[in-house]
Amino acid sequence: MIPMTRPLLDDTECDAVLRVLRSGMLVQGAEVERFEQLVAEQSGRAHGVAVANGTAALVLALTAAGVGPGDEVLVPALTWPSPAHAVRGVGATVKLVDVHPDEWNSTEDAFAAARSPRTRAAIVIDQFGNPARAAALRPVLAGLLVIEDAACALGSVFADGTPCGSLGDISCFSFHPRKVITTGEGGMCVTNDAELARRLRVLRNHGQTAPGVFERHAGNHRLTELQGALGVAQMARLSSINEGRRAHARQIQAALRESAPGLSFQVAPAGSQPNLQTLGALLPAGTSPAQRDRFIEDCRRFGAQAGPLSYALSQVSSVTPDPDATRPDGEPWVAVDLVARGVSLPLFPTMSDADREQVISAVTRAYAELHAPPR
């Protein structure tokens, strides 16, 4: 079975981790600092603050900016629940914003319609590494705290040529193994605001401004030196990883457009450069979740580890009180439809030609079985 993903790790990463182990200096230090500089540079930001994971990055970003009870925060409706959980975690209220049916991100019109006098902040997501419409969003979100959830989007580029990770007040990354580079677990906030960066550093380290000087109560969200060294080694590969992902994705999509013509793929805004962190596909309109599940099962049976696409947060009970509710305007959620017929397909930069052909063949065969009678 071709796995959904396979992180690109070789002797370089092993040597980096062993070097740290042998040094005996295991907690946040020079390696983490170098990793922070590299990710900040990549994102066109002045400061990087590494933390334990992408979810912690979001919680700390909201906390550093003072978001809390009484504040409403706009959150795109199609994603892993972390951004909504982070908002709830700081005591603020989530207001879901539906997503575009082709781009799978929330657009400027959707954010504008959702914004209310109570709105304090907006989280903009580059879902699956697909760049949000940064230039159109900036004026619509003016006056709000803007946090970019770029968890999936390291190395993606907005249509105006600026890097993902450069939008708004703070951008947050994840380095979970499903992301384009990994430190096992890991995350980072990047920002141009020196005071926000200072607060983030205090928040990740027990609230300390100096050893033993506690400015506020806070947890421990530090990254280890082992992870920092891994991150530095991975950053050297970022562009080749993303080039590999894009090249394989182009070939898989082109082949499937011929062999499984009812499948459709996430569309990037014209001129932008997605990193293809996830190769998502939609089954034809009207496909039921049960048919989608059988399609996933069939892909696996034929040798490709497909999986469900993502979550519609309007249906996630830890986010919303009524998982059956329609949108506030009475229309059905686009996010619910995308999740019902969405799948993610295997993609990783070290795929061989044979791996790629196996994915194409498995998906093609599973697609042919879509309308077969139940087994």
Ligand X SMILES: Cc1ncc(COP(=O)(O)O)c(C=O)c1O
Total residues contacting ligand X by CB under 6 A comes to: 14
To the nearest whole angstrom, how small is the minimum distance from the Cβ of residue 86 to ligand X?
8
Per CB under 6 A, the list member of 39, 48, 60, 80 interacting with ligand X is 80
Query: Which among 48-56, 191-199, 210-218, 251-259 is the span making contact with ligand X, rule CB under 6 A?
Result: 48-56
Residue 163 binding ligand X, by CB under 6 A = no
The verdict on 151 binding ligand X (CB under 6 A) reads yes
Instruction: Output b/e per residue, 179-206; b: 16+ Cβ within 10 A.
Output: bbbbbbbbbbbbbebeebbebbbbbbbb
Helix (H) / strand (E) containing 95: strand 93-97
Return the number of the residue (80 or 104) whose C-beta is nearest ligand X.
80
CB count within 10 Å of CB 320 equals 17
> Residue 281: helix, strand or coil by DSSP?
strand
Query: Which residues does residue 220 pair with via DSSP β-bridges, in sequence order?
Result: 205
Residue 335 interacting with ligand X (CB under 6 A): no
> Is the CB of 151 or the CB of 335 nearer to ligand X?
151
103 touches ligand X (CB under 6 A): no
Per CB under 6 A, does 71 bind ligand X? no
Residue 20 neighbours by CB under 8 Å, 6+ apart:
26, 31, 225, 226, 228, 229
Q: Is 287 in the site for ligand X (CB under 6 A)?
A: no
Cα→Cα distances 79→150, 316, 339, Å: 12, 11, 10
Contacts of 331 (CB under 8 A, 6+ apart): none
List, as one string, the DSSP characters of 143-168. TSEEEEE-TT-TT-B-TTSPBTT-SS
Stretch that binds ligand X, among 49-57, 59-67, 245-253, 339-347 (CB under 6 A): 49-57
Give the residue, chosen from 7, 48, 54, 155, that forms a contact with ligand X under the rule CB under 6 A: 54
What is d(CA 231, CA 184) in angstroms, rounded to the nearest whole number? 9
The residue (of 149 and 225) whose beta carbon lies closer to ligand X is 149
Return the number of the residue (100 or 176) whose C-beta is nearest ligand X: 176
Q: Quote the CA–CA distance of 308 and 300 in Å, as a whole number.
A: 12
- What tokens appear for 22 in the block? 């042998």
Closer CB to ligand X, 120 or 176, in the complex: 176
User: For 145, how many CA atoms within 13 A lie in the half-sphere containing its CB?
Assistant: 25
Q: Which of residues 191-220 bind ligand X (CB under 6 A)?
A: none
Among 107, 174, 205, 253, binds ligand X (CB under 6 A): 174
Q: By CB under 6 A, name the one of 187, 231, 244, 342 that touches ligand X.
A: 187
Looking at residue 43, what DSSP letter applies? T
Residues in CB range of 292: below 8 A, 6 or more apart: 283, 308, 340, 341, 342, 343
53 binding ligand X? (CB under 6 A): yes
Residue with tokens 């093609």: 364
How far apart are CB 98 and ligand X at their closest, in Å? 16
Smallest separation (angstroms) from ligand X to the CB of 277: 8
Nearest-approach distance from CB 113 to ligand X, in angstroms: 22
When binding is defined by CB under 6 A, the residue of 5, 42, 82, 266 that contacts ligand X is: 82
Among 13, 149, 169, 225, binds ligand X (CB under 6 A): 149
Q: Does 152 bind ligand X (CB under 6 A)?
A: yes
Cα separation, 98 vs 353, in Å, equals 37
Window contacting ligand X (CB under 6 A); options: 74-82, 100-108, 112-120, 225-233:
74-82
To ligand X, the closest distance from the beta carbon of 259 in angstroms equals: 29
Helical axes 11-23 vs 225-235, angle rounded to 10°:
150
**Binding to ligand X in span 226-265, by CB under 6 A:** none
Report the SS3 class of residue 365. Answer: helix
Radius of gyration of the chain (CA): 21
Name the residues that contact ligand X, by CB under 6 A. 53-55, 79-80, 82-83, 125, 149, 151-152, 174, 176, 187
